[in-house]
């Protein structure tokens, strides 16, 4: 590789790092560990972070640089301009299983769940929608579900509440998945998801 090509690669990398930090992205150099383990094997707290808020007020308002303590988020009073801290999607996400947990769940059940319940939608979209949607109509709109998908999902929730796995087995769920599916659907209902 010529010196000019190496300089271009180094320049491009530096520009990417600066832009990433400027826009609040955290750079995880541990992914480069396979090339130089001694340099990147330990993670440190140095680097750039996207949330400029202090630990006692970690919630960053969307439209202003104001930071809010978590006890004031979803408390019925607007602390952010425009009420972002009281946004229903924010409050739903706060009481639901995490996006990562929902994504893991949807990906584990994707073979039957995505085509039967979510019209073939991307698992990340489904997990996000499950974490923020108010009700079945909101979920359907976010994911692009058909009426048949909505009806099946409604049956799935009813089956979870009643403790009857047969409707889900008919949809293609494996028997060993029943307890996980029932648990997650019940968590969604317990967090305020409305059928």
Q: How confident is the model at residue 88 (pLDDT cuts 50, 70, 90)?
A: confident
CA distance 102 to 98: 6
Beta bridge partner(s), residue 59: 68
98 by DSSP, 3-state: which? coil
User: What are 154-178's pLDDT values in tens digits?
Assistant: 999 999 999 999 999 999 999 999 9
Please give the C-alpha separations between residue 32 and each of 94, 129, 163, in angstroms, as whole numbers. 33, 32, 47
**Cα radius of gyration (the chain):** 22
Question: What phi, psi does 194 have (nearest 5°)?
Answer: -105, 135
pLDDT at 141: 95
> Which stretch of DSSP H or E encloses residue 40?
helix 37-40
Please give the C-alpha separations between residue 134 and each of 6, 53, 129, 137, 163, in angstroms, as whole numbers. 52, 28, 9, 8, 23
Q: How confident is the model at residue 48 (pLDDT cuts 50, 70, 90)?
A: very low
CA distance 107 to 130: 13
Average pLDDT, the chain: 82
């Amino acid at each position: 590789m010529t010196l000019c090509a190496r300089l271009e690669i180094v320049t491009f990398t530096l520009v990417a790092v600066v832009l990433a930090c400027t826009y609040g992205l955290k750079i995880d150099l541990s992914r480069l560990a396979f090339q130089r383990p001694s340099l990147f094997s330990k993670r440190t707290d140095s680097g750039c972070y996207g949330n400029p808020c202090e630990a006692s007020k970690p919630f960053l308002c969307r439209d202003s640089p104001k930071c809010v303590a978590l006890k004031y988020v979803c408390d019925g009073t607007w602390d952010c301009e425009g009420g972002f801290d009281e946004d229903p999607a924010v409050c739903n996400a706060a009481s639901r299983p995490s996006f990562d947990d929902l994504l893991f769940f949807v990906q584990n059940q994707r073979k039957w769940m995505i085509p039967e319940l979510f019209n073939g939608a991307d698992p990340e979209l489904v997990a996000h929608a499950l974490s923020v949607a108010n009700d079945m109509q909101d979920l359907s709109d976010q994911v692009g579900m058909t009426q048949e998908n909505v009806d099946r999902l409604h049956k799935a929730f009813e089956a979870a509440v009643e403790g009857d796995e047969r409707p889900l087995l008919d949809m293609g769920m494996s028997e060993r998945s029943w307890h996980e599916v029932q648990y997650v659907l019940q968590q969604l209902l317990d967090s305020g998801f409305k059928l």
